[in-house]
């Protein structure tokens, strides 16, 4: 009888723990002003000058899930390479949370891996070699973000901003 009771409590604990675990997803929807982002879409800056973006990629790291009354859970070793022309949906993992209230993150690759060699990463990893490249070289590290496009009255001036 005692064995059955202990087994029942153990089973109940496992079931209640399992039910509290849930996958947490981060959905990234890029916008240009108030409209959905699209490459080659002509827009105007604050000086009323035309521009259009032809490339925008950026890394997300140091992710923290805020949940259940302000509690925070860091997401270890998760790096996302977000592409501006796509709605990026990333599975952050399975966590013991009931209500996700927010997500904090940094743009770029944190210091622990920024100056690492991309060839040491697994193929398919956001930190592996990319085309076009997202890495300056082993001594300088990863690009945190890239922004490229055309500007000017006839959209003939090329601009590049790599951070």
pLDDT-derived band at 20, boundaries 50, 70, 90: low
- Does residue 83 contact residue 148 with C-beta atoms inside 8 Å? no
The string of pLDDT tens digits covering residues 77-92 is 999 999 998 878 999 9
Pairwise CA distance, residues 152 & 140, whole Å: 32
Instruction: Please give the average per-residue pLDDT across 55-76, as a whole number.
Output: 97
Q: Which of 97, 83, 70 is nearest to 126 (CA)?
A: 83
Contact between 110 and 57 under an 8 Å Cβ cutoff? The reply is no
């Amino acid at each position: 009888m005692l064995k059955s009771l202990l087994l029942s409590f153990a089973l109940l604990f496992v079931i209640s723990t399992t039910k509290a675990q849930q996958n947490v997803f981060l959905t990234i929807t890029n916008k240009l002003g108030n409209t959905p982002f699209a490459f080659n879409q002509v827009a105007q800056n604050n000086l009323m000058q035309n521009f259009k973006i032809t490339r925008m990629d950026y890394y997300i790291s140091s992710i923290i899930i805020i949940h259940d009354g302000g509690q925070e859970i860091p997401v270890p070793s998760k790096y996302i390479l977000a592409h501006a022309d796509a709605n990026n949906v990333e599975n952050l993992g399975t966590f013991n949370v009931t209500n996700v209230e927010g997500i904090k993150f940094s743009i770029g690759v944190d210091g622990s891996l920024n100056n690492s060699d991309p060839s040491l990463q697994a193929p398919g990893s956001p930190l592996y070699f990319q085309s076009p490249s997202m890495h300056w070289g082993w001594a300088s590290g990863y690009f945190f973000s890239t922004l490229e496009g055309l500007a000017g009255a006839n959209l003939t001036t090329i601009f590049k901003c790599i951070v």
